[in-house]
Amino acid sequence: MPEPGGYAAAMSRALALAHNGPATGINPRVGCVIVGVDGSIIGEGWHRGVGTAHAEVDALSKLGHGAARGATAVVTLEPCNHTGHTGPCSVALIEAGVARVVYAVSDPGHASGGGAARLRAAGVDVIGGVLARDVQDFLDDWLTAARLGRPFVAVKWASSLDGRIAASDGTSQWITGTAARQRVHEQREASDAIIVGTGTVLADDPSLTARGDGGELLAAQPTPVIVGTRSIPSDAAVFRHPHSPVILPTHDVAEVLRDLRARGFRRAYVEGGPTLISAFVAAGLVDEYLIYLAPSLIGGDRLALGDIGVTTINEQRRLEITSVEQLGSDLLITARPRQAAASTHSEGT
């Protein structure tokens, strides 16, 4: 059996398996490998979504009776310690007779966490933090949602270099080019929900679908969420979306996120308009900013953001830029609130 520091390769394999799981939904993507007493991998598994076997149980199911006794389970996330759609993985591992459990990142869930302590209490050797940074980056949106009890929130806007999202007559198509717009559709596809205000629906009549280069619908579609109290025409394009839209007649963005969490949504993609985006920013409910900048100047008062509660320069919302990417002639700047970015970087250290 490898020494405690020798499980990086097995954890890397478990992380590769985790990528097979669904990128949306309330459950995390988790991978697991079972390492035999001779150091070879004897079982593999991953979590396929709500109601299916967790990664540890999936891996154990590939083994014959008693084959896991004395083995090591290497799993990307701390084994769960609660009964939901399935039983606790910590108990399954104990009953299988594993001698050691190696995991990367602790489970921050109030109900699901604590598996490591339960395993130790049963006499299982437990090692945490193996490849923690890699797994933290992979599970970032789920970990944030689990820690905060709400969906991970990404806000997106496209603007000119001087921060305008439309000309004075209201026209806005197209500020950015095709490469940037296609990236937006890919980001929509990776989200559980796409959120806009009633003002955007009334002004632009968007379909809120995720589409490919040829206009075809992509395999995964975000659920459209319309926030606000104004009525929407019954023939609006959003009602032809593959998923029925969620209509939330409120201006309370925290209430919106509570509703979406109850629906099992992990990642919310806020597209606008500026009133709605500003409300999320002002409430401190943004985890990631996706800002598309076009090399143009428009001028006027059609700004990407309105009032976010900053009255003096000392109150400005400080961000940390995590990446800058060129898409055609446009830039995609990804940023996070500075405090959240610092917390992310310290995870697992």
Return d(Cα 62, Cα 57) in angstroms, integer.
Answer: 9
Start-to-end Cα distance in the chain: 26
Which residue type sits at 177?
A: G
44 flagged as catalytic: no
Q: Are 64 and 45 in contact (CB under 8 A)?
A: no
The rounded Cα 19 to chain-centroid distance in angstroms is 13
> What three-state secondary structure class fits 104?
strand
Q: Which residue is catalytic, options 44, 56, 78, 288?
A: 56
What lies within 8 Å, CB to CB, of 244 at 6+ separation is 223
Residue 19 exposed, middle or buried by CB count within 10 Å (0-12, 13-18, 19+): exposed
Nearest CA-CA partner of 295 in 129, 165, 162: 162
CB atoms within 10 A of CB 35: 24
Which residue type sits at 263?
A: R
Return d(Cα 26, Cα 267) in angstroms, integer.
Answer: 9
Nearest CA-CA partner of 180 in 334, 316, 11: 334
The token duo for 223 is: 């659920």
Q: What is the DSSP string of 26-78?
A: SSPP-EEEEE-TTS-EEEEEE--STTSPPHHHHHHTTS-TTTTTT-EEEEEEP
Return d(Cα 157, Cα 172) in angstroms, integer.
Answer: 12
Return d(Cα 154, Cα 147) in angstroms, integer.
Answer: 16
Q: State the catalytic residues.
A: 56
